[in-house]
Amino acid sequence: MKKVIIAKDADELNKIAAEKFISIAQNALEKKDKFTVALAGGSTPKSLYNLLASDEFRSQIDWRKVFFFFGDERNVSLNDEESNFRMANENLLKPLQIPPENIFRWQTELEAANKIAENYEEAIKEFFDLRENPPARAGNSDCLPCFDLILLGMGDDGHTASLFPFTEALNERLKIAVANPVEKLNAKRLTLTFPVINNARNVIFLVKGADKAETLREVLQQEIQPNKFPAQTIKPTNGNLFWLIDKEAAQLLE
Ligand code: 6PG
């Protein structure tokens, strides 16, 4: 199921997103005692994280049952202002007093990007109890984690997580977590792969601001160009896809 919801402004967008987060978590926790979420980085989700940690929302779920992962990360130290972990920790995890054992971050102190990615993949496989067998092969969801929720943003170039246009990670169909060389950033970014994201039960895109409007029109309503607009490749196989957008970002949509 794919749903596009347009909010009148950033405040309403965050409220809708927080309510959706909580309802997905409450649904999941009716059936099991763990709720797994991969957080988005960048600047957009910061105010959503603050809202989730506020008195209005913090008491609506038992956060001890929530397990936090990260859809992508920059290859920087966890105290670096560029760190997605740092942003989420300051605005959500610390305020909610999430225990460290419920937080699975990319261990960027391991230096080599490929090692960080391998380490993160192992941590995810262990948490989700994924066996090597049957051997991982494209489309074999037995070898993929199934997150209850993956939060995503979208760059004005159409990237999501750290799946940037015309980069090698766009073609990865077996691995869970990779280091993705991004020429225009002159850096390797760390990211979950499309098979993982599309194996989630729920995916929420949170997009706001006029600077995203043209790209959003391309991604949602124009020709499919997966290398140019990686966000177009997000199509959960069995899960729900929610595009939560503010009016500014939606202004060019028909
Ligand atoms: C990151 C994010 C990335 C982000 C987009 C949008 O590490 O930067 O995961 O995919 O969601 O770049 O970023 P803004 O929210 O800052 O516009």
Q: Could you read off the pLDDT of 75-102 as tens digits, one per residue?
A: 999 999 999 999 999 999 999 999 999 9
In the structure, what pLDDT confidence band is assigned to residue 136 with cuts at 50, 70 and 90?
A: low
* Torsions phi, psi for 230 (to 5 deg): -55, -30
Q: Is 172 touching ligand 1 by the criterion CB < 6 Å? A: no
38 touches 151 (CB < 8 A): yes
208 touches 10 (CB < 8 A): yes
* Torsions phi, psi for 74 (to 5 deg): -85, 155
Q: Is 226 touching ligand 1 by the criterion CB < 6 Å? A: no
pTM over the 0.75 mark: yes
In the structure, what pLDDT confidence band is assigned to residue 60 with cuts at 50, 70 and 90?
A: very high
The more confident residue out of 243 and 140 is 243
On the question of pLDDT at 5 being above 80, the answer is yes
CB-facing half-sphere around the CA of 232: CA atoms within 13 A: 18
d(CA 58, CA 51): 8
Which of 37, 160, 189 should be mutated for ligand 1, with most atoms under 8 A from CB?
Answer: 160
On the question of pLDDT at 132 being above 90, the answer is no
Q: Is 195 touching ligand 1 by the criterion CB < 6 Å? A: no
- For residue 152, the ligand 1 atom closest to its alpha carbon is 11
d(CA 60, CA 19): 10
For residue 160, report the distance from its CA to the centre of ligand 1, in Å.
7
Q: Is 141 touching ligand 1 by the criterion CB < 6 Å? A: no
Q: Is 44 touching ligand 1 by the criterion CB < 6 Å? A: yes
182 touches 73 (CB < 8 A): no
For residue 168, report the distance from its CA to the centre of ligand 1, in Å.
18
Tokens encoding 93: 């995890």
